[in-house]
Amino acid sequence: MIRVRKLPDIKILDEKDKRLRLISKEVTFPLSKEDKKNIQDMCDYLEMSQVEETQEFYDLRAGMGLAYIQIGIPKRIFVVVDEVEEGKFDRYVIINPKIKSSSEEMIYVGEGEGCLSVNRDVEGIVPRHARMTIEAYDENGKKFDIRVREDLAVAFQHEMDHLDGILFTDKIDPKNPFKNKEFMREL
């Protein structure tokens, strides 16, 4: 018998929810116990969504990132959980991020970006920077810089957009969903 962990009790907002369009507010430290628990729950949820057994058991869509606004709280916090090898994950907790630099090279996700708040298939490409450096804070209020590239760069940009009330669907040209594809590299 497969032993499945209990799914964290978080409610992810659907794209129709107007709160997703709010611009999130800067976070002050120290974080509350509730904020720390939410961050842990969001990371656990994302990890479980990427593991086949828990994904099937709870009927989850795989997700790599979640912004705080997606659980209805307009604070500048997001998490990214990246499976680096089977069953082993890197967790990134990013608070009050600011972009320090980004590459000129643009990329896009070949099979299309997805979002846990967008419960439908969306055709088209979302232009993203291939590499970027971000300045942010961890849960303890310690400032750090992080350089991300490829898939992680896409995930970070996607979640940072959420902090400004932007969904990935906003970045797809409705008249020409594959516009400028030839000037970008496919992931």
Is 16 inside any structural domain? no
pTM (global) more than 0.85: yes
User: For 84-88, 89-93, 159-163, 183-187, which range has the lowest pLDDT when averaged over its residues?
Assistant: 84-88
Count of structural domains within the chain: 1
Alpha-carbon span 99 to 186, nearest angstrom: 23
Is 147 inside any structural domain? yes
Is 4 inside any structural domain? no
CATH code (residue 53):
3.90.45.10
Is 88 inside any structural domain? yes
pLDDT, tens digit, 9 for 90 and up, residues 49-105: 999 999 999 999 999 999 999 999 999 999 999 999 988 999 999 999 999 999 999
Q: Which of 123, 139, 159, 186 is catalytic?
A: 159
The reply to whether 182 belongs to the active site is no
Is 11 inside any structural domain? no
Is 7 inside any structural domain? no
Q: Quick one: pLDDT band at residue 2, thresholds 50, 70, 90? A: low
Is 9 inside any structural domain? no
Contact present, 32 and 136 (Cβ < 8 Å): no
Alpha carbon distances (Å) from 107 to 125, 185, 187: 9, 5, 7
Which residues form the domain of 182?
23-186
